[in-house]
Structure 1
Amino acid sequence: MVDLARRGHEVHMFCDSSYHFKIPNVTCINPGFRLSAPEDFDTFDVVRNPLSFLKTFTNAAANDAEKMFNSDITMKIFKRRGEYDLIVIDHLGLSIFYPFAHGTPFAIFSTSALLPCQSASLGNVPNPAFVSSNFMEFKQPYGFFDRLKNIALTVAQCYVHWAIPSQTEKLMNERFPWLPSLKEIERNASLHLLTTSLALDGPLSLLPNQVPIAGLVLKPPQPLPKDILDFMSGNTSVIYIGLGVSFIRNDSIPRDKKDILLSVSKKLPYKVIMNVHGQASGRSGNVLLTGDAPQQDILAHPNVKLFISHCGLAGVYETVYHGVPVIALPAAPEHGAMAGKLVLAGAAIQLSWLTLTEEILRDAVMEIMTNPSYGENMAFVSRVFRDQEETALDRAVFWTEYAARFRGAPHLKSPARHLSWIEFISLDFILLALILCCCAFNVFLKAIRVLKTECLGDKNEKEKVT
């Protein structure tokens, strides 16, 4: 957004009253209400009961849609949507914005890795025999049972993808009965910005309008605050615990789990920085507590040897860029998928919040701190990730401008997006071929019967004459 504005583009952005932009060419449009945010949910409800969380998230999306569709401010934007050269929509639960993209060039910004069903909507159907469901990772090449599990998880991912906006679609049909379905609107996206990379996802078959931009938030390291820099200085290795800025907060993490993190940290022969959003700053022996530490700048420090993380996308690519191995404590399915990729690369150990104990955490920490293979493997992943001809930001800006210049760049869209499943896999042709084969086989059998009858008839005639 900022780079587009710096290049002279006029950028309008939906934001609530908590955002205040002082950037030239950026206009914050406050719809007059607050949309749901990660801090509104019990993060660990995802870990304990994923289906319950899905229902909560679906209801929240529907409530946001109702506010959106009844707001005079947003409806004015809806009527003026044709004035924009390109509309960019965050895909996660924000299908409530899809009606604003109808009839207008728009881009989908995926804050997760490749989602099979979303990709299929654009005409690129990932093969579950080797493409991850984004719920769980398996070692390549997939064995029989891994393929079976991945297919089941892919079906589950498709269910989640369309279950979240299901109530939103009902509201949309009531408010805008003339609009096509959300699936049809998504199918006409001009651009799909994906948080994927060769380093972690391996080679993926992507369409020209599917652009990998993993590492979009990366920036050059800045000087650390003096208190943090002084704490990290010296010859002692540093472990950084960072649990994100919104998904896991000080008031949402279970007390017993935070006590485990603190207790183990205090007993380690290393320095530990624990950064939990909303946590009061302080220091206790070898542990520095903070709630707003500059994560990228800390990971860039040469003394940092381990990152304990929930494995959100941004944090994963920050640690990959700086080559720091990970202990993963995922709190959502997509976190688990990212953790799985690091584990398969030999650069991480994955633990579970549900079974976490002091002994399990301490053993994992000592394994990574004393076994150089984790650091070496992460260093290799980092080299692969860094070795690109352009930055993710430059790539995202170029293709966003490209889609805007060509009014949605229809020449980039795959015609496969309009095909039904029957047409896509040529099931009608296969059925026709089977029918023709059956007919030919039937004709062959009848011909054999006729020949057999003729031959037997001639033989009987000769016997009678004799």
Structure 2
Amino acid sequence: MLTNQAPSSKHPNIYEFTHGIRETDFDRFNVFEYLKETEDSFTQPAYVFEALARNLYQVREVKEIYNKRKEFDLIIIDSFINDVAYPFVHEMPFIVLCGMGLEPMHSAVMGNVLNPAYTPSMQYLWNHPLSLIQRTFNIFGSIHFGFIYKHWDPVPVVQTQINKLFPDLPSLLELERNVSLTLINSHYSIDMTQPLLPSQIEVGAMHCRPGEALPQDIAQWIEEAEYGVIYFNFGSMHKGEFLPTKYRNIMIEAFTKMKERVIWKFEKELEGLPDNVIIRKWLPQQDILAHPKVKVFITHGGLLSSQETIYHSKPVLAIPIYFDQPKVAAKLQRAGFGIALNLKELTVPLVVDSLNEIINNPKYAEAVGKASLILRDQKATPIDRAVWWTEYVIRHRGAPALRSTGADLSWVEYLCLDVLVLVHVGTFTLFWVSKKVLALACRVNKKKKTE
């Protein structure tokens, strides 16, 4: 496993190494400071892509693995903004992991163009069905996003650096088209139902599992909670120390007004905490969510956290911060699983009222409970599906039988634009010839009458 994270597995069958490129060290990435400088939560600084592409293959271990890549049976790469990894898959069978769920742009690469009449692009949070205006914006927004990504930034930026290192390689976009299979972090029970190819496998909530025994101090804190527990975690990427003091104080004051106990994932000591709040640098999230005394989960709206809260049947108070989180949070609210709030509009009464509404109104727990039953009701577990299909691609040396013929067509051919042009030209030609023939017949007829 090649990542920008410190090794986390002690399994003897797994070897992890960190490339160590400083620009991708998101442990120190202060998203709140970044959002002060831009209103676009869907972008990353361009220098990150350029630095990664320029430096990745200069790392000794990365270069060694790259030179030995043909010794592997299979390569798996993440799909989103990871074009820098495509040199690894040249002349190799590979699988793409769509960690953010079904991505229209990557689905189109596989030959399955999703219909923008009902498939929203990343930047929009619209409810279904889409109105005429929304569908219009959605179509042009999808085209714009795909064009910018592949022809402006980041792909051309990465391609320029890759060309310097590997001048004989096919283009990144050409390498991408050779994908054998996609493992998609989604499931129709909690996401939009979409038509999929045999090579597109849903493995949403693959990481979810039944709860296990909690550490003794956490278990005791929960068990002794007379009115239940509120669990608060903004994920691994958003460090608590970076949360602006204004919002931190709002949450602390709101907790003083709650009768429930609170477990808060926060990396540093905090002063002025009420007696009903404890903080920890790290928490076993799924084990906490699985406990029946946990009444509500305050989350940033990360996709994995949202899957865990549905799997463990816990309503949410979603306070999204960045990237796809507003979209995930809006989806949770639309499904009736909880309430989504805007971070910039937080007030103590708003937080308190929202928590009390979620805890005391059974409709939220009932809605997420029904979704949990459907999500768990599967013939095979997502992890078993992922393993089986991964080994299938290995057994069949890339599984070319899964490849859609649509992946070989240009966008002009796929959308039958050439056929439409031919039909229009043919219709116009027939109309023009008919008009000329009729005109000639009229002149001949007129001449005969004159004679």
TM-score range, shorter chain: over 0.9
Q: Do the aligned residues in 1 keep the contact of 2:41 with 2:323 (CA within 8 Å)?
A: no
Aligned to 2:85: 97
Per-residue deviation, 1:149:
3.5
Per-residue deviation, 1:317:
0.5
2:383 to 382, 393, 413: 393
Aligned to 1:439: 429
Deviation string 1:48-97 (CA, Å, 9 cap, x unpaired) is 44567766543123222222121232222212211111011122333221
Question: 2:20 matched to 1:28?
Answer: no
Question: How much is the aligned-residue C-alpha RMSD, in angstroms?
Answer: 2.3
Cα 1:20–1:365 change in 2 (3 A) is: closer
User: How does 1:36-435 map onto structure 2 within 5 Å?
Assistant: 36-45=24-33, 47-50=35-38, 56-158=44-146, 161-162=149-150, 163-233=153-223, 234-245=225-236, 247-276=237-266, 278-280=267-269, 284-435=274-425
My pick for the range that moved more, 413-422 or 425-434, is 413-422
Per-residue deviation, 1:165:
3.8
Amino acid at match of 2:233: G
Amino acid at match of 2:367: N
Q: Do the aligned residues in 2 keep the contact of 1:16 with 1:33 (CA within 8 Å)?
A: yes
Cα 1:49–1:198 change in 2 (3 A) is: farther
Distance 2:181 2:130 in 1: 30
Amino acid at match of 2:268: Q
Q: Do the aligned residues in 2 keep the contact of 1:90 with 1:111 (CA within 8 Å)?
A: yes
Distance 1:400 1:21 in 2: 20
User: 2:262 is paired with a residue of what secondary structure?
Assistant: strand
Q: Do the aligned residues in 2 keep the contact of 1:190 with 1:408 (CA within 8 Å)?
A: yes
Cα 1:85–1:199 change in 2 (3 A) is: same
Unaligned stretches of 5+ residues in structure 2: none
Cα 1:40–1:156 change in 2 (3 A) is: farther
Distance 1:160 1:48 in 2: 23
Amino acid at match of 1:443: V
Identity of aligned residues (%): 32
Distance 1:155 1:36 in 2: 28
Using structure 1 for the length normalisation, give the TM-score. Answer: 0.90
Cα 1:173–1:429 change in 2 (3 A) is: same
Q: Do the aligned residues in 2 keep the contact of 1:122 with 1:186 (CA within 8 Å)?
A: no
Amino acid at match of 2:384: D
Distance 1:294 1:55 in 2: 30
User: 2:242 is paired with a residue of what secondary structure?
Assistant: coil
Distance 1:328 1:351 in 2: 6
Per-residue deviation, 1:193:
1.1
Cα 1:421–1:374 change in 2 (3 A) is: same
Distance 1:51 1:183 in 2: 29
**How many residues end up aligned between the 2 structures?**
447
User: 1:200 is paired with a residue of what secondary structure?
Assistant: coil
Per-residue deviation, 1:131:
0.9
Amino acid at match of 2:106: Q
Distance 2:34 2:194 in 1: 29
Cα 1:152–1:352 change in 2 (3 A) is: farther
Unaligned stretches of 5+ residues in structure 1: 1-12, 462-466
User: 2:308 is paired with a residue of what secondary structure?
Assistant: helix
Distance 1:100 1:151 in 2: 33
Deviation string 1:101-143 (CA, Å, 9 cap, x unpaired) is 1111111112102221121122111111101213333222211
User: 1:354 is paired with a residue of what secondary structure?
Assistant: helix
Q: Do the aligned residues in 2 keep the contact of 1:312 with 1:335 (CA within 8 Å)?
A: yes
Per-residue deviation, 1:248:
0.8
